[in-house]
């Protein structure tokens, strides 16, 4: 493999794996925020306890996934400078601004507020505590917006001019309202909500089918998750289709590679696009039917049906990976469409260094992804019993030790 | 003050914030398996009291701040790219092996701190513990090496790019910087624990802290000695650098003095200063160069900065965002103030 191939593999692996965490983080956080708000607004103590346990159960899954997602995001932030210094040389004046603003507006706030939310149980006032999770949700999507402004510039550069071989920002408004960014944000938001909704649905039907004692908790979760999944998976297809006229206008090369078999990357693009479309439509259809089966708990009375919903959990991830390949591989050979090729942007880093870093990052990320999914599965199966997250009992049963020991 | 100096100051603020906050995280991460049993008689009792049900009291002390601390680094990188794109490209790719090592350490350490509590056996926890120590120590040493290289100057080529290899890293001065920084972060973490933990852990942390501060002082003196002998950093602004070095020594001495007299608040303020000063030294010692070349001169702040139009837009956002960020970070420190105790939900 050449240095360019290794650098691309490293970037693709980092982004691709990061994305699998992000889509679930973004999908779960609004649902957790809704659950927490409902719990805080309930005055009946028994109902409130159920809703609080519901928040903590899904909140724990969300936080486990966030823990791994944030570390891959950290590496993402460095990737541009590490292997693609040609990007900052050519487009740093334009491309750097949204990344800087993403960290200052969104990432900073999201992490600080999430830390406070995790440790705020029983310590912060309920209203403040609920506000924190909404701020986390808001900043998660704000983060997505700024990243897509940067990514939109790579797909369809706007608001700049090239002088002496470097891009200069001329129209900040155009950069912020780049249709390639806005449509993608709509598509990704709906895809994330589908992912979160399907996960909540699948885990809930699993527990209900196993005749859990927490019927109120999981019935409530199921209704919320399924409605969100049904609506989001319907509209994600519509917004996805809206992008094709834009691609036709701004990235003719991408559509050509998708349609014409003699062009490079055709096979991969075709397969990914079909996988995205088929899995997306499957999820949409099944969740649509399932909403009707909520009536009289039909969905969980017949177990195979309940387990079918559980089996649906991986589908949105598969579909989104397909969509990501279409968007990013379809951009090749350009890093910034029509302006800068991937090969021209490569840093002067030796092949040996890249080989080492690439294998190290891939090994670490794959291991983390495996740990993440093992933990998610274990904690999702275990159910809300004995949950550590948000437990307000004392930190340690410290026996007051004799200071004489020292 | 010109806009580019303002943004250089902001970049410095973010890196300094990361060194102070991430610094004590790394220190606590490095020390967490040992601190409980550093009592005079190495008593098992004290250790078990600190860790009843697989919990680690040292990690519990940093827990509420942990996620909010690491983002200072992310913000530093974002601002580096946004405001100084020409520095970002050559700096990160030039320091490639060190940055990759820092990132690998961070990824493993951060994930381990957050997932340790999810392990269901003592063996599983011990594995995460090893990664937590690695994730504190590796970035601490590597940041020290980066500081050493930046102070000493990097081998820039005519096109502005550079590469560091073993030859540059394995110089006595750079290695001494690595050791100093690692000891400094460890001492800073120990002082944080002395300030925030329950009494028994706090006094163990105080013992380690005073020893680590002495060691950091000795290693720091070695870097100074190497510089005086001409094998260290040829600083462009000699007077400023000498002043900052003197302040660094004073901060370490003050931290040691206050810590050994159980004035934990003052000792922590002093170690905070000591972790900020190396950042100031890199920024002010070579100013107006932001990337000093080992053969003299280097990349100036004016060459590194982004285009004026972009900088104006960033400034418009910055004047609102920076106070807001400082406000909510302060709020989070205030909300979780006080010694770790019964009312702190445990999760990590």
User: If we measure between CA atoms, which residue out of A128, A105, A104, A107 comes closest to residue A116?
Assistant: A128
Chain B CA closest to residue A105: B321
| CB pair distance less than 8 Å for A118 and B89 | no
ipTM: 0.89
Give me the pLDDT at residue B111, please.
92
Q: B40 pLDDT band (50/70/90 cuts)?
A: very low
Q: How far B1 CA lies from chain A's nearest CA (Å)? A: 21
Percentage of chain B surpassing pLDDT 90?
Answer: 64
The residue behind tokens 């951060």 is: B110
Contact across the interface for B71 and A103, Cβ inside 8 Å: yes
Which of B111, B303, B333 has the most A C-beta neighbours within 10 Å, making it the best mutation to test the interface with A?
B111
Given the structure tokens 């995001």, which residue do they identify?
Answer: A73
* Alpha carbons A388 and A60: distance in angstroms, whole number: 8
Mutate to test the interface with A, among B74, B291, B323 (most CBs of A within 10 A): B74
Burial B160-178 (b: 16+ CB within 10 A, else e): bbbbbeeebbebebbbbbb
DSSP assignment of B162-202, as one string?
----HHHHTSHHHHHHHHHHHHHHHHHHHHHHHHHS-HHHH
B104 closest CB neighbour out of A72, A360, A401: A360
Check B309 against A170: CB less than 8 A apart: yes
Does B93 sit within 8 Å of A82, measured CB to CB?
yes
Give backbone dihedrals phi and psi of A13, rounded to 5 degrees, phi first: -65, -45
pLDDT tops 90 at residue A403: no
- pLDDT confidence tier of residue B42, bands split at 50, 70 and 90: very low
Half-sphere exposure of B197 (CA within 13 A, CB side): 30
pLDDT at residue A393, rounded to an integer: 59
**In this complex, which of A77, A81, A119 lies closest to B336 when CB atoms are compared?**
A119
Contact B310, A93 (CB under 8 A): yes
From the list B45, B73, B92, which residue is nearest A82 (CB)? B92
Q: In Å, how far is B260's CA from the nearest CA of chain A?
A: 15
For the record, the structure tokens of B280 come out as: 């100031």
pLDDT of residue B342: 56
Mean per-residue pLDDT for B89-118? Answer: 92
Q: What is the mean pLDDT of residues A50-72?
A: 93
Q: Which candidate in A396, A399, A404 is best for mutational testing of the B interface (most B CBs within 10 A)?
A: A396
Contacts of A173 in chain B (CB under 8 A): none
pLDDT of amino acid A236 = 96
Give the pLDDT band (50/70/90) at residue A308.
very high
Looking at residue B50, its pLDDT comes to 41
- Say yes or no to pLDDT of A126 above 80: yes
Model confidence pLDDT, tens digit, residues A356-378: 999 999 999 999 999 999 999 99
B110 with A394: Cβ contact below 8 A:
no
The per-residue pLDDT for range B159-173, each reduced to its tens digit, is: 888 888 888 899 999
Report B:301-320 residues touching A (Cβ under 8 A). 306-307, 309-310, 313-314, 317-318
**Cβ(B72)–Cβ(B18) under 8 Å?**
yes
Closest-CA residue of chain A to B44: A405
Locate A277 and state its tokens: 């479309």
- For A51-66, the DSSP string reads HHHHHHHHHHHHHHHH
**CA-wise closest residue to B283 among B14, B25, B3, B2:** B14
Q: Which two tokens stand for residue A90?
A: 């050519």
Angstroms from A363 CA to nearest CA on chain B? 11
**Confidence at residue B53, expressed as pLDDT on a 0 to 100 scale:** 55
Distance CA A159, CA A299 (A): 51
Residue in A closest to B206 by C-alpha: A406
pLDDT tens, position by position, B214-271: 999 999 999 999 998 888 888 888 899 999 999 999 999 999 999 999 999 999 999 9
> Does residue B49 sit at the A interface (CB-CB below 8 Å)?
yes
Does the structure show a pLDDT above 50 at B47? no
Q: What is the mean pLDDT of residues A150-158?
A: 95
Residue A10, pLDDT > 80, answer: yes
Q: Chain A residues with CB inside 8 Å of B97's CB?
A: 353, 356-357
Contacts of B311 in chain A (CB under 8 A): none
DSSP structure string for A259-295? H-TTSTTHHHHHHHHHHHHHHHHHHHHHHHHHHHTTG
* Cβ-based contacts of A353 with chain B (< 8 Å): 96-97, 100
Tens of pLDDT, residues B13-33: 999 999 999 999 999 999 999
Which tokens go with B284? 């002010």
- Nearest chain A residue to B329 by CA: give it: A112
**Quick check: B346 and A396 in contact, CB under 8 A?**
yes
Provide the pLDDT for residue B54. Answer: 65
Quickly count helices (H) and strands (E) in chain A: 15, 4
* Stretch (H or E) spanning B289: strand B289-292
- In chain A, % of residues over pLDDT 90: 80
Q: Does the pLDDT at position A145 exceed 70?
A: yes
pLDDT single digits (tens) B288-346: 899 988 887 889 999 899 998 899 999 999 999 999 999 999 999 999 888 876 556 66
DSSP string, A370-392: HHHHHHHHHHHHHTTTT--TT--
Q: Indicate whether B44 pLDDT > 80.
A: no
Q: Is B80 on the interface with A (CB under 8 A)?
A: yes
Average the pLDDT over A302-314 and give the result. Answer: 94
Residue A406 has pLDDT above 50, yes or no: no
| SS3 (DSSP) at B74 | helix
For A106-120, the pLDDT digits (tens) are 999 999 999 999 999
- Whether the pLDDT of residue B49 is over 50: the answer is no
Residues from chain A that touch B88, judged by Cβ atoms under 8 A, are 80-81, 85, 88, 92, 96
Pairing verdict, β A166-169 and B298-300:
unpaired
Alpha-carbon distance values, A301 to A204, A206, A291, A306 (Å): 13, 11, 14, 8
What is the distance in angstroms between the Cα of B332 and the nearest Cα belonging to chain A?
7
Within 10 angstroms of residue B261's Cβ, the number of other Cβ atoms is 11
Mark yes or no for CB contact A406/B40 under 8 Å. Answer: yes
Q: Please tell me which of the candidates B107, B310, B332 has its beta carbon nearest to residue A97.
A: B310
Best probe of the A interface among B3, B59, B81, by most A CBs < 10 A, is B81
How many whole angstroms separate alpha carbon B256 and alpha carbon B38?
A: 18
Q: Residue-wise over B73-108: b if at least 16 C-beta within 10 A, else e?
A: bbbbbbbbbbbbbbbbbbbbbbbbbbbbbbbbbbbb
| Run of H or E including A195 | helix A179-209
**A102, A113, A121: residue with CB nearest B78:** A102
Residue B46 has pLDDT above 80, yes or no: no
CB contact under 8 A, B73 and A401: no
Contacts of B99 in chain A (CB under 8 A): 78, 82
Contact A74 B310 (CB under 8 A): no
Predicted pLDDT of residue B276: 96
Burial of B341 (0-12, 13-18, 19+ CB in 10 A): middle
**Tens of pLDDT, residues A164-191:** 989 999 999 999 999 999 999 999 999 9
| Sequence ranges of the domains in chain A | 199-347
Checking if the pLDDT of A312 tops 90, the result is yes
| Contact assignment for B314 to A83 by CB distance below 8 Å | no
Q: Tell me whether B273 touches chain A (CB under 8 Å).
A: no
Pick the range with the lowest mean pLDDT from A31-45, A360-374, A383-397: A383-397
Measure Cα distances from B280 to A130, B147, B179, B286, B290 in Å: 39, 11, 19, 10, 12
Whether the per-residue pLDDT at A135 is higher than 70: the answer is yes
What pLDDT is recorded for position B328? 95
Cα–Cα dist B292/A372, whole Å:
42
Q: How far is B227 from chain A (nearest CA, A)?
A: 30
Q: Give ∠ CA B120-B123-B129 in degrees, rounded to 5.
A: 95
Contact B314 A399 (CB under 8 A): no
- Report how far residue A354's alpha carbon sits from residue B58's, in angstroms, rounded to the nearest whole number: 37
| pLDDT of res. B48 | 42
Residue A154's closest CA among A217, A222, A84? A84
Go through the domains of chain B in sequence order and give each one's CATH number: 3-36+58-334 (1.20.1630.10)
Q: Which candidate from B199, B335, B347 shows the least CB-CB separation from A116?
A: B335
Lowest mean pLDDT among A88-97, A222-231, B10-19: A88-97
Taking only the tens place, the pLDDT of each residue in B182-198 is 999 999 999 999 999 88
To test the contact with chain B by mutation, choose from A18, A65, A105, A119 the residue with the greatest count of B C-beta atoms within 10 A, namely: A119
Mean pLDDT across chain A: 91
């Amino acid at each position: 493999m050449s240095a360019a191939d290794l650098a691309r593999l490293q970037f693709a692996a980092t982004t691709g794996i990061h994305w699998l965490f992000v889509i679930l983080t973004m999908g779960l956080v609004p649902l957790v925020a809704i659950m927490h708000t409902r719990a805080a607004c309930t005055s009946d103590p028994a109902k409130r306890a159920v809703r609080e346990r519901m928040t903590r159960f899904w909140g724990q899954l969300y936080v486990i996934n966030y823990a791994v997602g944030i570390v891959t995001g950290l590496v993402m932030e460095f990737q541009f400078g590490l292997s693609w210094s040609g990007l900052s040389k050519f487009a740093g004046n334009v491309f750097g601004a949204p990344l800087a603003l993403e960290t200052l507006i969104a990432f900073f706030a999201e992490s600080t507020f999430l830390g406070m939310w995790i440790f705020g149980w029983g310590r912060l006032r309920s209203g403040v505590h609920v506000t924190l999770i909404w701020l986390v949700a808001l900043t998660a999507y704000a983060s997505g917006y700024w990243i897509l402004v940067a990514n939109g510039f790579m797909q369809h550069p706007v608001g700049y001019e090239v002088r002496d071989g470097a891009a200069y920002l001329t129209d900040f408004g155009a950069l912020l309202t780049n249709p390639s960014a806005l449509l993608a944000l709509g598509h990704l938001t709906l895809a994330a909500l589908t992912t979160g909704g399907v996960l909540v649905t699948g885990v809930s039907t699993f527990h209900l089918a196993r005749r859990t004692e927490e019927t109120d908790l999981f019935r409530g979760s199921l209704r919320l998750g399924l409605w969100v999944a049904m609506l989001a998976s319907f509209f994600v297809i519509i917004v996805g289709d809206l992008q094709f006229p834009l691609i036709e206008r701004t990235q003719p090369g991408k559509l050509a590679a998708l349609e014409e078999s003699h062009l490079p990357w055709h096979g991969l693009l075709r397969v990914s696009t079909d996988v995205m479309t088929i899995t997306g439509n499957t999820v949409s259809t099944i969740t649509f039917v399932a909403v009707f089966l909520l009536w009289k708990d039909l969905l969980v009375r017949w177990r195979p049906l309940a387990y079918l919903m559980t089996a649906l959990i991986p589908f949105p991830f598969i579909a989104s990976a397909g969509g990501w390949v279409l968007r990013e591989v379809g951009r090749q050979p350009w890093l910034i469409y029509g302006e800068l090729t991937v090969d021209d942007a490569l840093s002067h880093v030796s092949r040996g260094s890249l080989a080492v870093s690439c294998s190290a990052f891939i090994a670490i990320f794959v291991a983390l992804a495996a740990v993440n999914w093992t933990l998610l599965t274990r904690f999702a199966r275990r159910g809300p019993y004995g949950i550590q997250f948000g437990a307000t009992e004392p930190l340690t049963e410290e026996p007051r030790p004799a200071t004489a020991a020292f | 003050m010109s806009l580019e100096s303002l943004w250089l100051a902001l970049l410095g603020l973010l890196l300094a914030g990361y060194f102070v906050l991430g610094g004590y995280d790394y220190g606590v991460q490095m020390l967490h398996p040992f601190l409980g049993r550093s009592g005079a008689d190495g008593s098992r009792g004290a250790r078990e009291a600190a860790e009843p049900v697989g919990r680690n009291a040292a990690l519990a002390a940093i827990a509420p701040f942990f996620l909010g601390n690491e983002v200072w680094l992310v913000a530093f990188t974002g601002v580096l790219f946004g405001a100084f794109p020409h520095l970002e490209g050559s700096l990160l790719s030039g320091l490639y092996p060190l940055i990759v090592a820092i990132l690998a350490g961070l990824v493993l350490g951060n994930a381990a701190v957050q997932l340790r509590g999810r392990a269901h056996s003592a063996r599983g926890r011990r594995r995460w513990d090893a990664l937590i120590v690695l994730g504190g120590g590796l970035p601490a040493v590597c940041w020290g090496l980066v500081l050493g290289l930046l102070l000493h100057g990097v081998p820039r080529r005519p096109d502005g790019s550079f590469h560091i290899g073993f030859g540059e890293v394995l110089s006595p001065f750079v290695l001494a910087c690595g050791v100093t920084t690692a000891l400094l972060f460890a001492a800073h973490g120990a002082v944080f624990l002395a300030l925030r933990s329950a009494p028994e852990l706090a006094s163990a942390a105080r013992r380690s802290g005073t020893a680590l501060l002495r060691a950091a002082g000795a290693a720091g003196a070695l870097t100074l000695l190497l510089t005086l002998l001409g094998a260290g950093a040829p600083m462009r602004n000699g007077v400023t650098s000498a002043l900052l070095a003197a302040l660094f020594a004073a901060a370490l001495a003050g931290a040691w003095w206050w810590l050994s007299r159980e004035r934990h608040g003052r000792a922590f303020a002093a170690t905070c200063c000591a972790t900020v000063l190396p950042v100031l030294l890199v920024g002010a010692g070579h100013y107006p160069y932001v990337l000093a070349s080992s053969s003299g001169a280097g990349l100036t702040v004016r060459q590194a900065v982004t285009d004026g139009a972009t900088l104006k837009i960033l400034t418009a956002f910055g004047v609102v965002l920076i106070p807001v960020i400082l406000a909510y970070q302060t709020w989070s420190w205030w909300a979780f103030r006080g010694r770790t105790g019964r009312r702190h939900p445990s999760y990590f």
